[in-house]
Amino acid sequence: MIEFKDAAVVAPDSGVPILEPTTLTLTEDRVSIIGANGSGKSTLARLINGLVLPVSGSVEVDGLDTQKHGAQVRRKVGYLFTDASAQLIMPTAIEDVALSLRRVIKNRRERDDAALAALKEIGLASKADVSVNALSGGQRQLLALAGVLACTPSIVVADEPTTLLDLRWRAHVGALLRSLPLQVIEVTHDLDSAARAERTLVVDLGRVVFDGDPREAVQLYRDLMFGRASQGATA
């Protein structure tokens, strides 16, 4: 369970508000977050695993405060970035997954076996010894997901995980995320994907302006965007 209690974020340098005080309890297995560029979606998502900390209020995951128990929270919450390259560090696929496991499995051989099993699970076993740089964008995203899942999180926060992928990979990674037997919070500009969630948050100008039925959320977001576009056209 993810609980925001009046959690607010400001820009560290300027003190400009990025996220207004936000109170939410997220228990659904599939939650999507949509909104315009720069509206505050990533900030909201990053609060969940403590990548961003609130300046006031709190965020708790299964009762653990992200401010006080960051390491424990990060073990529970896996984070998938838009650009997988941002989280792939090691030269080869198997080494990268093994790196993710270094705190969980101390024995080297057992760690390599677990890394290979994670690659198999996601359909990347044949790429185990391939350079991370030689993988396609879609394969890199799968590899990043393998690293996240190998650590057995109970929640995955995915920040626009399919934005850089072509249609085929988008469908593949999207289906895979939907099939995971854990809570998935997805920030997305893919409104079809957003509408498949159980609950959708619409973020606008640093505020959650809608929280509820995904189809209604998508409609409200379209109205917001097109309303704004037509205001801009007449201005």
Chain residues binding ligand ATP by CB under 6 A are 11-12, 18, 35, 37-43
Nearer to ligand ATP, 17 or 116 (CB): 17
Q: How far is the CB of 15 from ligand ATP (least distance, A)?
A: 10
Q: How far is the CB of 42 from ligand ATP (least distance, A)?
A: 3
Cβ distance 223 to 53 under 8 Å?
no
Q: How far is CA 40 from CA 21, 43, 126, in A?
A: 12, 5, 38
Q: Closest residue to ligand ATP, Cβ-based?
A: 42
Cβ distance 192 to 171 under 8 Å?
no
Cβ distance 78 to 104 under 8 Å?
no
Q: How far is the CB of 134 from ligand ATP (least distance, A)?
A: 28
Q: How far is the CB of 163 from ligand ATP (least distance, A)?
A: 9
Nearer to ligand ATP, 38 or 123 (CB): 38
Single-letter amino acid code for the residue at 20: E
Nearer to ligand ATP, 6 or 121 (CB): 6
Q: How far is the CB of 159 from ligand ATP (least distance, A)?
A: 7
Q: What are the residues facing 79 on neighbouring strands? A: 157
Q: What is the CA radius of gyration of the chain?
A: 18
Nearer to ligand ATP, 36 or 125 (CB): 36
Q: What DSSP designation does 83 have?
A: S
Taking residue 51's Cβ as centre, other Cβ atoms within 10 Å add up to 18
Nearer to ligand ATP, 80 or 93 (CB): 80
Say what angle helices 93-100 and 137-150 make with each other, to 10 degrees.
Answer: 30
Q: How far is the CB of 118 from ligand ATP (least distance, A)?
A: 28
The token pair at 1 is 């369970």
Nearer to ligand ATP, 16 or 167 (CB): 16
Tell me how far apart the alpha carbons of residues 4 and 25 are, in angstroms, rounded to a whole number.
6
